[in-house]
Every structure is written in structure tokens, then in C-alpha cells.
Amino acid sequence: MREWLFLALANGLPRLAVSDRVRWILYRMAGMRILGRCTIYGPLTIRPLGGARNITIGAKTFLNTEIRFGSRGAVTIGRRCRIGPRVCFETAGHGTHVGADGRRGSSAHPIAVGDNVWIGCGAIITGGVSIGENAVVAAGAVVVRDVPPGAVVGGVPARLIKREDAPRDGD
């Protein structure tokens, strides 16, 4: 009940600068682990109800609009990340084999996003994936494998486009 109430309040706030500065507090009250001030435009979709406790967001992270968490498994997003609109974090998956009961079965696997990651609009991150620090995921990408630190990936399924060198002192 508590999760539902605070999600409804946070998702219902108008898109005003003052709302954007406090919305993260309501998401924290709904059960998300938010590790410091961040900006969340919302609304967020969290499925199933009760899944907010499986979501951890690092300080100074920005989440744009209409982000979906299919969070039967844990989703951890690092510090200073930029998450574009309509990004989906889908921890649940279904098998391809149909059992005797007519069902495919399902499983849940965690998603881990490192610090300073940028995920573009409409990307889909699937369960069991880790995205390394300073990586970039292009808009519309479907990430089904781990992304190394500093990599730029894009496409369906996401593939390496290039690697960014780590910044040097003085840069």
C-alpha cells in the first residue's frame, strides 16, 4: 500500500522545476533505494507492485520521463548517470520451451549500471546485463550482453561502436 501511494504521488506531480527537485524523495518513500539527491522527471513504471525495493539509484543521477522497471530482479544504477526517456530495464525473461502446462516459464536476473553511464532514449536493458563505468548506450539499442567500461554500443542487439579512452589528468 505504501509503495502504491508514494508512486502515485510522485508520478502525479506536475512537470515544474520545484517538483523535479523533490520527486526523488517520494520515490524513496515508495521503497526505492536512492543514495543521494538526484533528478527524476517521472513518471516511472514499476512492475510488479512491490518491485520498488529492488531498485537502487546513485546520487546525482538523472532519470528522464516514462522509464520502466520490470523489476522482479535487482536494478542498480550508479552515480552521475543520465537515463533518457522511455528506457526499459527488464529483469524478467521467458524461456523458448513450452512446458507440459502450456507455459514458457520465467526467470529474473539483475541489471547493474556503473557510474557516469549515459543511456539514450528508448533503449532496452535486459536481465543479467552489466554496463561498465563511463559507457554510452545509443538510443533504441537493445542490450543483451555486458557492456565494458568506456564502450559506446548501439543497435539491435547492441554491438560495440567504439571505445572511449579514459580521460587523462588535465583533460
pLDDT in tens, 83-93: 999 999 999 88
State the catalytic residue, choosing from 15, 94, 104, 162: 94
Q: What is the pTM of this model?
A: 0.89
pLDDT of residue 98: 82
Per-residue confidence band for 171, with pLDDT thresholds at 50, 70 and 90: very low
Mean pLDDT for the stretch of residues 53-74: 94
Cell numbers that stand for 168 in this block: 587523462
pLDDT of residue 165: 67
The ranges assigned to domains in the chain are 2-161
pLDDT in tens, 77-116: 999 999 999 999 999 887 777 888 888 777 889 999 999 9
Q: Strand pairing of 75-77 and 55-57?
A: parallel
pLDDT of residue 90: 96
Cβ–Cβ < 8 Å for 145, 129? yes
Per-residue confidence band for 11, with pLDDT thresholds at 50, 70 and 90: very high
Coil vs helix vs strand at 54: helix
Mean pLDDT for the stretch of residues 136-157: 98
User: 166 pLDDT exceeds 50?
Assistant: yes
pLDDT in tens, 21-52: 889 999 999 999 999 999 999 899 998 888 99
Residue 14's φ and ψ, nearest 5 degrees, are: -70, 160
CATH code of domain 2-161: 2.160.10.10
Active site (annotated) includes residue 97: no
Q: How far apart are CA 68 and CA 31, in angstroms?
A: 16
